[in-house]
A and B are shown apart, each in its own frame.
Chain A
Amino acid sequence: SQQGEEDPQALSIQEGENATMNCSYKTSINNLQWYRQNSGRGLVHLILIRSNEREKHSGRLRVTLDTSKKSSSLLITASRAADTASYFCASDPPGTYKYIFGTGTRLKVLA
């Protein structure tokens, strides 16, 4: 499998529910970022978590990082219809000048 795979590929929930998306990566990393992309639009940066951090919060978003399992999760609490988008993780292996993006999770929040 590739560096940066996410599951589920698609997630459909009711407004008010929590949404959890997971990301796995293959190599060690310096940092991991989560992005949101509305259909056909640009990439919006959500959170950056460094390899020495385990958890980070920003508003309704909570990101965890487990470097021993090479995985990260993004939790969106109390979801809203406006959260409907694709969510990507991106990791940067040491010694490189790039981020490697995951395959993304398509989240649909039903009103």
Chain B
Amino acid sequence: EPEVTQTPSHQVTQMGQEVILRCVPISNHLYFYWYRQILGQKVEFLVSFYNNEISEKSEIFDDQFSVERPDGSNFTLKIRSTKLEDSAMYFCASSEAVGYTFGSGTRLTVV
């Protein structure tokens, strides 16, 4: 069964550093998403991406965040200057139309 692949599975970074989280969506999917889940809390929407542009973003997705589809297969989330409160599990998802397939997540720890 096709999968959404996320790398790395766990990243530790110093506060103020830039991080890039990587995702390889399912190949024929057209819609891409990032969500995050702070430990013990609900899953929160960050951004959706279609046709090489952002379709929608949440209030969380401020100027410190950006997304990119640098080639035909990768979809990345960049956090420019990480804060302690960015520590969370970050999930990438893709879809063809309705219904998502999620990746297994990247656990980001900001120290």
Q: Is A59's CB within 8 Å of the partner chain B?
A: no
Taking the nearest CB of chain A, how far is it from the CB of B96, in angstroms? 12
- CB-nearest residue of chain A relative to B35? A101
Task: Answer yes or no: B104 CB below 8 A from chain A CBs.
Answer: yes
Distance A30 CA – B55 CA, assembled complex (angstroms): 17
Asked if B102 lies at the interface with its beta carbon under 8 angstroms from chain A, I say: yes
Q: A44 vs B107: C-alpha distance in the bound complex, in angstroms? A: 17
Number of A-B contacts (CB under 8 A): 53
Chain B stretch 3-18: residues in CB contact (< 8 A) with chain A: none
Q: Is B100 touching A97 in the complex (CB atoms < 8 A)? A: no
A residues in contact with B101, CB < 8 Å: 45
* Chain B residues closer than 8 Å to A31, beta-carbon distance: 98-99
A43 and B56 within 8 A (CB): no
The digit string for B13-54, where 1 denotes a CB below 8 A from any CB of A, is 000000000000000000101010000001111001010000
Pick 21 A–B contacts, CB within 8 A, sort by A: A33-B100, A40-B89, A40-B107, A42-B103, A43-B91, A43-B102, A43-B105, A44-B102, A48-B98, A88-B42, A97-B48, A97-B50, A97-B55, A98-B33, A98-B45, A98-B48, A98-B58, A99-B45, A99-B100, A101-B45, A104-B42
